[in-house]
Amino acid sequence: MDSKRYLTPAQIKNDMLSGLTVALALVPEAVAFAFVAGVEPLVGLYAAFMVGLVTACIGGRPGMISGATGALAVVMVSLVAQHGVEYLFAAVVLMGVIQISAGVFKLGKFIRMVPHPVMLGFVNGLAIVIFLAQLGQFKEKNEAGVMEWMSGEPLMVMAGLIALTMSIIYFLPKLTKAIPSSLAAILTVSLLVIGLDLDARTVQNVLQDMTGDPLASIAGGFPEFHIPTVPFTLETLWIILPYSIILAAVGLIESLLTLSLIDEMTETRGRGNKECVGQGTANILTGLFGGMGGCAMIGQSMININSGGRGRLSGITAAVFLLLFILFASSLIEQIPVAALVGVMFMVVIGTFEWASIRMMGKIPKTDAFIIVLVSGVTVVTDLAIAVIVGVIVSALVFAWQHAKHIQVSILEEDDQHRVYGLTGPLFFASIKNFSEQFDPKNDPDDVVLDFRNSRVSDHSALEAIDSLAERYIAAGKTLHLRHLSAECRGLLKKAGDLVEVNVIEDPKYHVASDQLG
């Protein structure tokens, strides 16, 4: 990803312009997430700047944008409410340490265990979440200071500006790709609103509604180094540790899934473990500079990719522009119409949602369709991390249920005194009941052979099932032989231990998931 082909003048221009587009869209989101977490706007903006900058420099996925996110903000609320923002900073530092550890121990590869239906559900659910989040911009304060839905002329102006924004984003690339269409749309709509003096909600209005302060602003200075002022005791550790673990897990799941999605879109490959280290380093520094922490942002990443941003420069540019907005250009950024940003995010929703998943619903297994819908629904109701975990668990259970039916027992040889059973398929916890029901020790011949040549003993439950079956044959006074078991199986079997026939040449070599292995 860091090859020289990304340093061409054309790509440098694309990265810088797409970075500027991302920075413009980052401002209201970072502020909104800060309020969700119960902290000051600058705490969210500093997090967006620092996490975005560090991950762009050393992360495993060039072109991916990171910053303060809603998934993390909702976890932080209770910690801030109960113990204050300093404990949040400490928790973010510990969160970073955990994420670096995940990268060092190469746990990022486990994201490959996420099945494709779960990925589709994750993407669709996230698109719905992004869409629903934009609906809040259709509210404004009435004379009584209560937020209510727009109506009449303000609604018409808002809808018209959104439609114009989306039209520019859609049609401009058909004419020229010299400038990212999202950036062109934001600039055009902003100039139109200012030039015609339209009564449209701006970023400044959003700040005022959130804070209740008519002078609210995103203006600030450089983030300053600040060690969290909390007692360095075990009591503090026990307070922040649960939050840090959850934050680290949510952050990595969201980041690695976003990485996989961008890999698919760009037909390139990011480095999951390096991203874990990058995210962890970013969060440690963010916690030490007064930020709320963060992770990958799929919406902003889609804006960046669709605007032509591919290299690390795009993420660096977005972070630097965001800092410049805070330091010098807050008054200009606050004049951007919210409608322009909502229009950009609506186009992200359209581009993110996997519309093909709707068309394939009747063509894929019902269980896969159910998992897509389930993960999408859980994503909307709870958060991405829980949705993915639920999806993986359900997928695993479906897999186990389906493969439980695949264990087959057939008679290979038999006469009056002798019978050979051949097993086909995996023997594990879900298939042992079906396995046990295939045999009738009382009515079988005196000499019985179980051949495991085409079967695999997968776990401790399977070993117990074989032992129980051996005990049944012994109790019936029959002779049972077990062939083609791995050396490990032979060592773990108890009742059937003396009944196993060793065939050194043909016996398989594999490991069994057993609690007896320590």
Q: Residues 147-187: pLDDT tens digits?
A: 889 888 999 999 999 999 999 999 998 988 888 888 999 99
- Statement: residue 100 has pLDDT above 70: yes
Q: Are 221 and 75 in contact (CB under 8 A)?
A: no
- Mean pLDDT in residue range 481-487: 81
Which stretches does DSSP call E strand in 46-131? 66-67
Q: How far is CA 484 from CA 213, 433, 465, 481, 507, in A?
A: 77, 21, 16, 10, 5
Q: How far is CA 85 from CA 39, 99, 211, 217, in A?
A: 7, 21, 17, 20
| Pairing label, strands 418-427, 447-457 | parallel
Task: Give the model's pLDDT for residue 79.
Answer: 93
Query: Per mean pLDDT, which range of 36-40, 220-224, 284-288, 409-413 is the poorest?
Result: 36-40
Where helices occur in 267-413 by DSSP H, the ranges are 272-288, 298-306, 312-327, 330-333, 338-352, 356-359, 366-381, 384-404
Task: Give the model's pLDDT for residue 2.
Answer: 47
Backbone angles phi and psi of 463, in degrees to 5: -60, -45
How far apart, in whole angstroms, are the C-alpha atoms of residue 321 and residue 342? 20
Q: Are 58 and 307 in contact (CB under 8 A)?
A: no
Query: Per mean pLDDT, which range of 6-10, 68-72, 428-432, 513-517 is the poorest?
Result: 513-517
Structural domains in the chain, CATH included, are: 4-352 (no CATH), 357-402 (no CATH), 405-517 (3.30.750.24)
- Mean pLDDT in residue range 350-355: 88
pTM of the model: 0.74
Using alpha carbons, select from 18, 97, 105 the residue that is nearest to residue 56.
18
Phi/psi region, residue 378 (left: phi>0; alpha: psi -120 to 50; beta: rest), is alpha
How far apart, in whole angstroms, are the C-alpha atoms of residue 76 and residue 36? 9
Using alpha carbons, select from 38, 34, 47, 37 the residue that is nearest to residue 323.
47
Task: Give the model's pLDDT for residue 134.
Answer: 86
Task: Give the model's pLDDT for residue 61.
Answer: 94
Chain centre to alpha carbon of residue 49:
21
Task: Give the model's pLDDT for residue 457.
Answer: 83
- Mean pLDDT in residue range 396-406: 78
What is the pLDDT confidence band of residue 516, given thresholds at 50, 70 and 90? low
Where helices occur in 197-271 by DSSP H, the ranges are 203-211, 234-266
DSSP-assigned letter for residue 501: P
Amino acid at 105: F
- Statement: residue 318 has pLDDT above 50: yes
| Contact residues for 368 (Cβ-Cβ < 8 A; gap 6+) | 117
Q: Are 424 and 438 in contact (CB under 8 A)?
A: no
Element (H, E) at 408: strand 408-414
Return the bridge partners of 421, or none.
411, 450
Q: Read off the pLDDT of residues 451-478 as tens digits, 9 standing for 90 and up.
A: 888 888 888 888 888 888 888 888 888 8
Neighbours of 267 (CB within 10 A): 6
Using alpha carbons, select from 507, 496, 417 the residue that is nearest to residue 456.
507
Using alpha carbons, select from 117, 120, 129, 128 the residue that is nearest to residue 354.
120
Of the spans 118-122, 214-218, 256-260, 275-279, which averages the highest pLDDT?
275-279
- Statement: residue 492 has pLDDT above 70: no
How far apart, in whole angstroms, are the C-alpha atoms of residue 186 and residue 343? 9
471 or 274, which is more confident? 274
What is the pLDDT confidence band of residue 513, given thresholds at 50, 70 and 90? low
Q: How far is CA 312 from CA 11, 54, 315, 319, 518, in A?
A: 11, 10, 6, 11, 44
